[in-house]
Amino acid sequence: MNVTKIIEEELGQELERVGFQPDFHHRHIWPYERETNGVKQEITILTDRYDKKALKVLFDTDAYGQRTKEFRDFVPEEGAKHWEFWGYKDQEELRTILREFKRLIVTYGLDFVETISKPATDAIPTEEMERYLYLNHQRLYEEYSVKLQTGGKSAEEVIGIIYQAMEQNLDKSFDAVKDLLIGIAALYGHTISWGNQGEWVWDEERKNCTLQKILGTRYQHLPLKLIVPIWDYWRKHGSIDQGLLERYKIILVLYYREHPEEIQYDE
């Protein structure tokens, strides 16, 4: 049974009619893509990892902060909410499922993909912010070390102070806290790299500031794209994300694997 051909016949033709184009490169996954107002939209049919006769549909865009969704996330019909993957036994059942996928996409999915083509938040780190962090991270580190009185404190204590600074500004707009978030991104990056044991790099392709080789390990992260979403999530949901401390713990594990002689044991 030629699943690709059947998908093209039952579903692909309708997607192409509204501007989506097939972008098939791997087995068992059939993405259809289009660009609308500068936003990449994607509707993908894929098989279950363990059962190749089970399919589902994913909806995705590259709009900032949006996450991949499927029928059960937005279709109000009860039948669509019960299944993660839709199984079939033969070609007839496969065609029936694909026709149902087409109905749900036309009825709900095309409108939904437009909904998720808008940024999920106004708290978006801009290229200007990223570049400012890259060019001024050392100065900002020194400035915010003084402002937040972190001198002589452990990395864990500094991370706690960073959380306090964010908590004190949850009621403010993103525009009002941009400078603070850039500053504490610099403070966090230098803190987890023990001052200057990391490489601050400008990624020209992605237009962001990256901290690489933290403590000489292969670990890297994007300071601003870490700090901003944590603040944004906290102000919207009222709960804290412990990602700053957890990432530092991962870095320590990697570091001490390479430097076991520096591990200090309690007597």
- CA-to-CA separations, 87 to 55, 189, 190, 254, in angstroms, rounded: 6, 47, 51, 43
pTM, two decimals, is 0.79
> How far apart are alpha carbons 62 and 156 in whole angstroms?
34
Reported as a single tens digit per residue, the pLDDT across 112-144 is 999 999 999 999 999 999 999 999 999 999 999
Q: State pLDDT tens for residues 41-99.
A: 999 999 999 999 999 999 999 999 899 999 999 999 988 876 789 999 999 999 999 99
Q: Name the amino acid, one letter, at 31.
A: P
Q: Give pLDDT, residue 240.
A: 79
Q: Is 237 exposed, middle or buried (0-12, 13-18, 19+ CB in 10 A)?
A: exposed
pLDDT, average across residues 171-179: 97
Tokens of 23: 């972008």
Domain boundaries, the chain: 3-115, 127-262
